[in-house]
Amino acid sequence: MTESSSRNWLLARPAVDEDQARDIAARAFAISGEPREVGSQQDRNFVIRDGHRGILLKFDNASTSDAERDLQTLVSERLRAANVPTPRILDPADCLLPRIDVPGQHDAPETITARAFEWIDGAPLSDDAELSGTVAEQLGRLAGRSVSGLSGLTHPASERAIQWELGRAAEVVEQLLGSLPEERRDPCRDAARRAETAVRRVAAQLPRQVIHGDLTSDNVLRDATGELWVVDLGDATMSWRVAELAIAAADVLGRTEDLSMVARVVRGYAQETPLTDPELVALWPLIVLRGAVLAVSGWSQLEIDPGNAYARARIEHEWQVFEAGLGIDPATAQAHLRIAAGLPHREGLEYAPILEGAIAELDLGVESPLLDRGAWLEPDIETRLVRALLDTEPTDRPRVAAIAPFGQARLSRTSGDVSAPGASRARCVELWAAAGTELHAPFAGTLRHDGDAIELSDRGVILRFAGAAPSVAAAEVRTGEVFATTGDTSVRITRRVAGSRPDANFVHFDGEYESSGALDPSLLLGVIAVPDPEIALRDERVRREAAMGGASERYYAEPPRIERGWGALLIETRGRAYLDMVNNVTAIGHSHPRLADDVARQLNLLNTNSRFLYGLYADFTNRLLEHSPDPALDVVIPVSSGSEANDLAIHLAQVATGRTTIVAAREGYHGWTMASDAVSTSAFDNPNALGTRPDWVDIVSAPNAYRGRYRGAEAASGYVSELREHLVALQASGRAAAAFICEPVLGNAGGVVPPSGYLAGAYAEIRAAGGLAIADEVQVGYGRLGRAFWGSQLDGAIPDIITVAKAAGNAFPLGAVITKRSILDALREDGMFFSSAGGAPASMAAGLAVLDVIRDEGLQRNALMVGEHLIERLSVLSKRHELIGAVHGAGLYLGIELVLDRTDLTPAVRETREVCERLLGHGIIMQATSERQNVLKVKPPMTLTIEQADAFVAALDTVLNDIQIANVAI
């Protein structure tokens, strides 16, 4: 190596200051803001933000050529095309990259070029408190996609000499070794030489291509949606393809010092790009070489740029990367990494089947149909299913065993008691066979007995069979030889790295899938492995954001992925059940078998638009009319949603009265269609609500006697008088009201029950003014309030039009309007009504099933009983927790209002959000409501049991205590 090229490898950041950055950003990229420097080894980077826009302004090191910049642009485009998100490189205003002169090394002036990249608001994966196996696998997947995206790319600049290119590693280490502290030099040189020799043996067989060259947890950012972004394309270079993987793997090794984590990186990579035998020979030595290069470079960088805090902070980590590699036996590493890549642990090896006969796979996962209808809660469900599977008529070969896969989040082990979640995730392959079934060694190896387990090992790969009895005395077995027999229990089979301890066979729902030596044995046993549910969860989040963007509402910052429900429980894919305390849509509970059967049966028979004649239409409408609060309300029109029901209700009132004005109570939500939205004024759903009402909408105060305009004993008459004044004024101005609409219990305002006498009074006023009363019972109707089927009945009031949805179909799209024949007749004169899916046979079947279940299971009674129990328990809680200002509502529609001060009622907004987030950790799904977002909405399925109610109260108690303790920290 020549002097000049060696100097080229040691580069200080260009001497650009913030004023220059500010100036260039404004001039060339039309963005003005305060520059903030972010770390870099050899370039100078600033973030500049201006409102929603932001750029990363990069001043390249003077040694970066235009050709290299061109290469980076190409790489950037290729990566994006290969589904590796990377920030776009932005075009400067005049298409010419801005350049400035600054003092360089030894004060000689140098010309620096600036580029702007799209700014990604995210944090590097290296900021995670602990690097998880999931992240390791995601990093590997990005590396695999990166090389597949960059394959075939040619560019002159990719051939330049850079110190990070692993083909030069040994050379770089020799040259920079002197910068290391004395005692570190020898181990570093020796390890690098050994690794170099190993790589050289297969070098000619290693595919070469352009790679990113620095794909590490520092250079992958996670944004708010969970999307991962690859940044820093400055080290893109021609190299061995497998070097991309080695670089990512070395980073993970340094951060975790755990070979099983490195294996996760390899596993992720191999899902995208297959690894060849020579690549797997070179992989571990390349990881070691990367560690050595990092170690020497870190120290030498500090020598030339002592003020570089970024480089200083990294040198110990870089030494760690190197040392972690030295502590692991290369043959062991290679064996496990081969398995992670989907290859047998030795080249050319073929695993023998461990049993004679067929093995049936048993799906015990969250979505397994075997566990439908609550079967997952049966205590001995696994045994029953195994027996059923083994007793099934044999097909071509007798089924001798059943296995359940490694990594599966087992629903059969998920606890229905949310306060005690089970260890549901399998870290073993579990095998069931008749006692005495012979087990064959999948590979030749050494046997060791350890309590009730037998271990077979070869090349640092240990396969452990817990629950099997040895059948040979010898210490060595050949491939295929019988070495053990099964006993009365299942056999749990695990793999681990020699030197690590056996782990638990089942871990808690959020436990790590693979870590500290617990590795997937599936490949060695010839059975399928289950993809990591944690990764699938993250992918799903990104997929949903991409589909709907930010406009679609979603619960939680870090949402679990819910794929099953049962009663009041929701189950996420990592194998945990949550108590669903917010879902008034699913009034009769999740996955009710009656509903599932009736709808499935109808779908098998007929489902069509409602213009045909079929029996279910009248069956449902008549059945709903049995609940009509008054004989005068004698017709039903089925629709598909609450919004549509309210839209139709408004339309009906307008045609029946020949007027247009609708008076609505403040802070309501009635839907998203044009008319239902027009009467919705909840500032949470629509921050500009009051300023944007169309002229046919008139708003009166929400009848909230707790914190509204009128409180205490006079509240009802105060609010009724206000309505009367509005009606009179409207009449006087020639805009007489067609109707008054409100929720009979103010659901969206937090379950607030209007003061007694209000509804009856309000309905009398609107009728006296020649208008109609519309009750939006979408949330509170259908028996949920316990004391009555309809919210308006709590106050003895009877509206002219009732709208329902949500509970009506138990989340099947069904709504309805109940009204008087005379009102409906007015519509006929105005034109007929038709809504394609409204009233369709399957919706009618759903609607009937819901009403039947509410009746047959006594759910209204249950709502009353459990609701009163809850109110009692919550009132006890409110004596201990000052934060609870009030408990609103009735039955199973409650609102727990949190306030900072019980006198001035300051809403405890942050605390409410915090309570919801923390309750999730306790297995409770809870959300905030009201336009102040300070009310916990309690509206679970009406099947909620006393025990479940108690579990909720206990969790709330704990969380409120914790919050009080942590109050300053929130």
CB of 646 to ligand PMP, least distance (A): 6
Exposure string (b/e) for 189-208, b if CB count within 10 Å is 16 or more? bebbeebbebbeebeeebee
Binding to ligand PMP, residues 716-755 (CB under 6 A)? 743, 747-748
Give the C-alpha distances (Å, rounded to integers) separating 359 from 188, 344, 392, 397.
49, 20, 12, 10
**Min. distance of Cβ 779 from ligand PMP in angstroms?**
4
3 state DSSP class of 523: helix
- The one-letter amino acid code at 160 reads R
Task: Give the residue with the Cβ less far from ligand PMP, 163 or 641.
Answer: 641
Distance in Å, CB of 668 to ligand PMP, minimum: 7
Strand order through the sheet with 445-450: 358-361, 399-404, 429-433, 491-497, 461-466, 453-458, 445-450, 476-477
Residue bearing tokens 């009204």: 819
Distance of closest approach, residue 749 Cβ to ligand PMP, in angstroms: 10
Q: In terms of DSSP bridges, do strands 893-898 and 801-804 run parallel, antiparallel, or are they unpaired?
A: unpaired
| 670 scored as a contact of ligand PMP (CB under 6 A) | yes
Cβ neighbours of residue 135 closer than 8 Å, sequence gap 6 or more: 125, 128, 217
Q: Are 936 and 898 contacting, i.e. CB atoms less than 8 angstroms apart?
A: yes
Q: CB nearest ligand PMP: which residue? A: 642
Shorter beta-carbon distance to ligand PMP: residue 64 or 680: 680
**With respect to ligand PMP, which residue has the nearer C-beta, 148 or 779?**
779
Smallest separation, CB 670 to ligand PMP (Å): 5
Rounded to 10 degrees, the C-alpha dihedral 475/514/334/276 comes to 120
Closest C-alpha among 122, 312, 146 to residue 214: 146
Q: Hey, which residues does 609 pair with through a beta bridge? A: none
Kindly state the helix (H) or strand (E) to which residue 842 belongs, with its residue range.
helix 841-856
> Between 298 and 889, whose beta carbon lies closer to ligand PMP?
889
876: CB partners within 8 A, 6+ apart:
none
Binding to ligand PMP in span 593-652, by CB under 6 A? 641-643, 646
Which residue, 415 or 641, has its beta carbon nearer to ligand PMP?
641
Q: 443, 506, 669, 782: which one contacts ligand PMP (CB under 6 A)?
A: 669
Nearer to ligand PMP, 589 or 671 (CB): 671
Smaller CB distance to ligand PMP: residue 668 or 786?
668
User: Backbone phi, then psi, for 672, in 5-degree steps?
Assistant: -110, -10
Q: Give the bridge partners for 606, in sequence order.
A: none
Residues 757-786 that bind ligand PMP (CB under 6 A): 776, 778-779
Give the integer Cα–Cα distance in Å for 68 and 873: 69
Identity of the residue, 669 or 790, whose beta carbon is nearer to ligand PMP in the bound complex: 669
Rounded to 5 degrees, φ, ψ at 73 are: -65, -45
First to last CA, the chain: 57
Q: For ligand PMP, give the closer residue by CB, 237 or 803.
A: 803
Span near ligand PMP by CB under 6 A; candidates 21-29, 332-340, 667-675, 846-854: 667-675
Residue 744: CB minimum distance to ligand PMP, A: 10
CB of 569 or CB of 585, closer to ligand PMP:
585
Beta bridge partner(s), residue 733 = none
Stretch that binds ligand PMP, among 664-672, 708-716, 867-875, 942-950 (CB under 6 A): 664-672
DSSP state of 540: H
Report the alpha-carbon distance of residue 829 to residue 676 in Å, rounded. 23
Distance CA 145, CA 142 (A): 5
Q: How far is the CB of 813 from ligand PMP (least distance, A)?
A: 8
Q: In the complex with ligand PMP, which residue's Cβ is closer, 231 or 650?
A: 650
Buried b (16+ CB within 10 A) or exposed e, 699-727: bbbbbbbbbbebeeeebbebbbebbbebb
Binding span for ligand PMP by CB under 6 A among 64-72, 298-306, 513-521, 669-677: 669-677
CB of 748 to ligand PMP, least distance (A): 6
- Asked whether 580 and 590 are in contact (CB, 8 A), the reply is yes
Site string for ligand PMP, 436-475 (x = CB under 6 A): ----------------------------------------
Of 59, 65, 66, 69, nearest to 102 (Cα)?
Answer: 59
CB of 859 to ligand PMP, least distance (A): 20
Least separation, in Å, of the C-beta of 685 and ligand PMP? 9
- Supply 24's token pair: 């260039």
For the residues of 266-277, what is the DSSP string, one character each?
Answer: HHHHHHHS---H
Please, what is the minimum distance in Å from the beta carbon of residue 778 to ligand PMP? 4
Secondary structure class of 338 (helix, strand, coil): helix
Q: How far apart are CA 812 and CA 604, in angstroms?
A: 17
865 sits in the region (left: phi over 0; alpha: psi -120 to 50; else beta) called alpha
What is d(CA 807, CA 784) in angstroms, rounded to the nearest whole number?
A: 9
Q: Indicate the residue among 68 and 743 with the shorter CB distance to ligand PMP.
A: 743
Does 805 bind ligand PMP (CB under 6 A)? Our answer is yes
State how beta strands 122-124 and 220-223 pair. Answer: antiparallel
Identity of the residue, 646 or 704, whose beta carbon is nearer to ligand PMP in the bound complex: 646
Considering beta carbons, is residue 534 or 743 the nearer one to ligand PMP?
743
Distance of closest approach, residue 637 Cβ to ligand PMP, in angstroms: 15
Q: How far is the CB of 775 from ligand PMP (least distance, A)?
A: 10
With CA atoms as reference, report the closest residue to 460 among 342, 338, 350: 338
Nearer to ligand PMP, 385 or 936 (CB): 936
Output the 3-class SS for 359-390. Answer: EEECCCECCCHHHCCCHHHCCCHHHHHHHHHH
CB 937 within 8 A of CB 582: yes
By CB under 6 A, name the one of 254, 671, 847, 889 that touches ligand PMP.
Answer: 671
Residue 764 sits at the vertex; the CA angle it makes with 758 and 765, to the nearest 5 degrees, is: 90
| Cβ closest to ligand PMP, residue 234 vs residue 744 | 744
- Matching residue, tokens 């200083």: 312
Q: Which is nearer to ligand PMP, 325 or 642 (CB)?
A: 642
Question: Contacts with ligand PMP: how many residues (CB under 6 A)?
Answer: 14
> Rounded CA gap, 227 and 962, in Å?
32
Cβ proximity to ligand PMP: between 598 and 677 the closer is 677
Give contact residues for ligand PMP (rule: CB under 6 A): 641-643, 646, 669-671, 743, 747-748, 776, 778-779, 805
